[in-house]
Structure 1
Amino acid sequence: MSVLLLAPVLAVSPRVPASPTGAWQAHADYEVRDLDWQDAERGRAVPVKLFWPKAARDGQVPLVVFSHGIGSSRDGYTYLGHYWARHGIASIHLQHVGSDRALWQGNPLQLVARFQRAAGESEAVARVGDQRFALDRLLAGEWGAHIDRARIVAAGHSYGANTTLMSAGARVMRHGKAIWLRDPRVTAAIVISAPPFYGDDDFRPILGGVTIPTLHVTTADDIIRIPGFGSGVEDRLKVYEATGGAQKVLAIYKHGTHNVFTDHRYFDSQDVSTQVKQATEELSLAFIDDAYGADRKEMNDWTARHRDLLARYVAQ
């Protein structure tokens, strides 16, 4: 099997009630909207959830383009979208139709095969295409004038973290050819629980060309287990260490499973789930400010507040 990335995470897909397509959900400081886009050129649906700060009407705001883990959806990480929007940051959460929650449907005996196909090279490339299409569509539409194009962040969890790294400049060799899908509009990246790149022992040639600011988040218990494949926190560290760039941050929490970063709590206590999510929200905001020229005070304050949660923290 020739695959570009391998990041299957066998977590229960969240069952979040969907809002009527295109209808705004109004909050005090922001709005949320489900949009069912279609990339006609690729013949591929690209459903998204857009979190839009009301402050954007009066000026320009940063934008986060978020990719979910395998088997999830645009509804899988909404706590981050709500948090960013409350703090004046827009975000668009993609649903990658070739590796989304539809994988859970069908014959249970074929589940592993479906996940392996979803982690294949063609879907890995298609996911980056989804990011590019959604960004094209957003910037060209009614929202484009209110987005600060110098502050566009790619972010993702698990398989979505690999997607993010590809948009950020990862270069993978397959069949003697380089797969390089860098999107120059992406100027910072948030990488949560990134699995290894399948079939490659040395990540430096892959990730050394990622030179934009990166935030890497994981836990000491961040373990992926599926039949025939396992990946522990040591792989997250290899990804961090191999990533290039003069500005990168690593945060490892003491507790929390691989799925603690999703909307729902499956294998973690309520306290661990709440603490890790809240800390990650705050860290992502401080990182975005730091990546675009703010002083490091917010990052330092975050470290002081959450010292007891951390197994390791490195900022350079």
Structure 2
Amino acid sequence: MRDEFFSRPGLSRRRFGAVLTGVFATGLAARATRPAQAAPEDVRIADLDWVDTRRARRVPARLYWPSPGAPAAPVPLIVFSHGLGQSRTGYSHLGRRWAANGYASLHVQHVGSDGSVWAGNPFELLDRVNGAADEREALARAADVSFALDRILGGESAFAPFIDRQRLVAAGHSYGANTTLIVGGARVVRDGRTLERRDPRFKAGIVISAPPFYGERDLHAVLAAITVPTFHVTATEDVIALPGRRSPVQDRLDVYAAVGTTRKALAVFQGGSHSIFTDRALTGGAALNPQVKRATADGTLAFLDLAFRGDPGPLASWSETWQPILAVAPAAYPVTAPSPHPSRRSGPRA
């Protein structure tokens, strides 16, 4: 989809609904078909092909929108960053589930560390992985997230009037979890210079299977400045094994412990794998895989009820429901008063 779909002046709710109907009926949206196993959900999908001209860098994205018409109230937005070697089409189970429950979800593709990493001469794979994991690419990924947020909230975006700017969430898996932490305030020091890409517009973070910040010995120094509420998700078999890089589950726990905010929670699934949070259907076990996917999506929604509405009830109910597959259940942090934000749900999470 090109930007002409987002340059409609004087957009009313009625015109918005008409624009969305046309947007999601384009050939680009038609290619975003649901996998056969997906549950029927009232979710609309559109692909966005942006270019950040200041960086001469493409920033493709996929948008999951909660319903075909204009919402009755502005909807919260999750901006999702994929793992190494993935793309905007991945993690569709999260985008669909979030959108079906009232959250718009914008999945950003990072062209310097997407599926192109796996293409080409296999003997040069290590070099490509090292390049994709370089700190310059890490900062570029954070810039991609901020740029995508600029575009979806910009004056020419048809969606901007219908997004709640007080409920913007950064989220990601693996390398994307690092990206989430960077836009949340993570910082490193190189040659006396602080490198950071914090985006203060994000009010919460979803951190799924975060690797360590390779080469950094003091994680607390890197992550202490993060103050937004964060929900951390991992599994007891969540081991990262990439060429030249191996990371045990303990790294995920260390990242959680080092994050500066006290408004955080940790969920650890029993079993699983690092890839169980992707769209891969069998990794971690054929029976456990779909349960972890569903539980992860619903757990993030329950945590955001705590972060945005001050309501610990959904997270407690979630922990009870999924207790059979949890090694560690998340504990709600203390809240002083409920938030005035309305519920984000478009319907019950059945």
The TM-score normalised by the length of structure 2 is 0.82
Offset at residue 22 of structure 1 (A): 5.4
Taking the aligned partners of 1:122 and 1:247, their CA distance within structure 2 comes to: 29
Aligned to 1:9: none
2:320 corresponds to: 304
State how 1:12-91 maps to structure 2 within 5 Å.
20-21=27-28, 29-54=42-67, 56-91=70-105
Q: Do the aligned partners of 2:227 and 2:261 also contact (CA within 8 Å) in 1?
A: yes
CA distance in 2, matches of 1:203, 1:309: 29
Instruction: Please say if residues 104 and 111 of structure 1, whose CA atoms lie closer than 8 Å, have aligned partners that are also in contact.
Output: yes
Q: Deviations over 1:174-207 (max 9, x none)?
A: 2221012110100000000000011111211111
Deviations 1:113-167 (A, max 9, x none): 1011000011111101100100000001110110000000000000000000000
Q: Shift of residue 228 of structure 1?
A: 3.2
Are residues 1:190 and 2:206 paired? yes
Partner SS, residue 304 of structure 1: helix
- The reply on whether 1:226 has 2:233 as its aligned counterpart is no
1:136, 1:23 → 2: CA distance?
25
Task: Specify the alignment match of 2:227 in structure 1.
Answer: 211
* Equivalences, count: 298
Aligned to 1:12: none
C-alpha distance in 2, partners of 1:97/1:108?
A: 19
Counterparts of 1:310 and 1:25, CA distance in 2: 33
**Aligned-partner residue type, residue 264 of structure 1:** R
Give yes or no for contact 1:51–1:82 (8 Å, CA) kept in 2.
yes
The question of whether the paired residues in 2 share the 8 Å contact of 1:222 and 1:232 is answered with yes
TM superposition shift of 1:308 = 1.2
Structure 2: distance between partners of 1:287 and 1:97 = 30
The one-letter amino acid paired with 2:223 is: L
In the aligned structure 2, how far is the partner of 1:76 from the partner of 1:44? Answer: 20
Task: Answer whether contact 1:154 1:188 (CA < 8 A) is retained.
Answer: yes
**Superposition pairs of residues 89-108 of structure 1, within 5 angstroms:** 89-108=103-122
CA distance in 2, matches of 1:77, 1:25: 13
Q: 2:133 corresponds to which residue?
A: 119
Task: Measure the CA separation in 2 of the matches of 1:163 and 1:46.
Answer: 15
2: CA distance between counterparts of 1:310 and 1:104? 33
What is the alpha-carbon distance in structure 2 between the residues aligned to residue 264 and residue 162 of structure 1?
A: 21
The CA distance in 2 between the partners of 1:167 and 1:298, in whole Å, is: 27
Contact 2:281 2:290 in 1 (8 A): no
The 3-state SS of whatever aligns with 1:135 is helix
Single out whichever of 222-231 and 237-246 deviates more from structure 2.
222-231
**1:279 is matched with which residue: 282, 295, 298?**
295
CA distance in 2, matches of 1:42, 1:125: 12
CA distance in 2, matches of 1:144, 1:24: 24
Match of 1:172 in 2: 188
Match of 2:274 in 1: 258
Q: Give the equivalent residue in structure 1 for 2:21.
A: none
- Name the structure where strand makes up a greater proportion of residues: 1
**CA deviation after TM superposition for structure 1 residue 62, in Å:** 0.5
Matched letter for residue 95 of structure 2: G
CA spacing shift, 1:151–1:284, aligned 2, 3 Å: same
Percent of residue pairs identical: 48
Q: Secondary structure at the match of 1:58?
A: coil
> Which amino acid in structure 2 is aligned with residue 21 of structure 1?
L
Q: Distance in 2 between matches of 1:58 and 1:28?
A: 19
- What does the per-residue CA deviation read over 1:292-314, in whole Å, with 9 as the maximum and x for residues that have no partner? 02411100000111111111124
Stretch deviating more after TM superposition (28-37 or 302-311): 28-37
Q: Which has the higher contact order (CA 8 A, sep 6+)?
A: 1
Q: Are residues 120 and 107 of structure 1, via their aligned partners in 2, closer, same or farther at CA, if it must alter by over 3 Å?
A: same
Segments of 5+ residues of structure 2 without an aligned counterpart are: 1-25, 34-39, 334-350
Amino acid at match of 1:180: E
RMSD (CA atoms): 1.6
